[in-house]
Amino acid sequence: MIYKFSIATSKKRELLDITESIAGQVEKSKIKEGTVLVFALHTTCSVIISEVEDNLEKDIISYLETEGPKGPFRHSHGNLKVHDKLHVNQSHTPAHLMSATIGQSQVIPVSGGKLLLGTWQRICLLELDGPRIRKVVVQVLR
């Protein structure tokens, strides 16, 4: 079964807990044992498993901004006719690179009709180029 939902982000970079939305879809599916695939339909955000805590969110974002790609970048998003020129101010290029490195999906086991997550594990959308409306696909598999 495939489900889709949208989530509005409010910041350039942020971590949003989407666990309850995913758990709700697993419950609707009535599956007892299986897996669930969570996939973001975008190239500038990621789906991660993380603890949700304000200071950890700040640490994750700080790490990505400090250690992440700096440029210059060739990617111009179709704005220029010359695509092999280096561009210094392509603000969303780092988001593409971070998302490609981190990944846009997670697979989570389902046991006893519930997501099988550790004590502090939550399924999160990591916004890397917001604010935007993001679409997430949830596929429940037996």
pLDDT for the residue numbered 79:
55
Considering only residues 11 and 83, tell me which one the structure prediction assigns the higher pLDDT.
Answer: 11
Indicate if the pLDDT at residue 87 is higher than 70: no
Handedness of CA 64, 35, 40, 22 (dihedral sign): negative
Q: Per the CATH hierarchy, to which homologous superfamily does domain 2-68+91-108+117-141 belong?
A: YjbQ-like (2.60.120.460)
- Model pLDDT for residues 3-41, shown as the tens digit of each residue: 999 999 999 999 999 999 999 999 999 999 999 999 999
Q: Are 73 and 98 in contact (CB under 8 A)?
A: no
In this structure, of 11-20, 72-81, 90-99, 119-128, the range with the lowest mean pLDDT score is 72-81
Spatial distance between the Cα atoms of 74 and 82, rounded to a whole number of angstroms: 9
Among candidates 13, 18, 37, 29, which has minimal Cα distance to 121?
Answer: 18
pLDDT for the residue numbered 72:
77
Q: Cα–Cα distances in Å, from 97 out to 25, 71, 75? A: 30, 11, 10
Q: Is the pTM value of this prediction over 0.85?
A: yes
Domain boundaries along the sequence of the chain: 2-68+91-108+117-141
Spatial distance between the Cα atoms of 131 and 64, rounded to a whole number of angstroms: 17
Q: Cα–Cα distances in Å, from 43 out to 12, 17, 100? A: 14, 19, 7
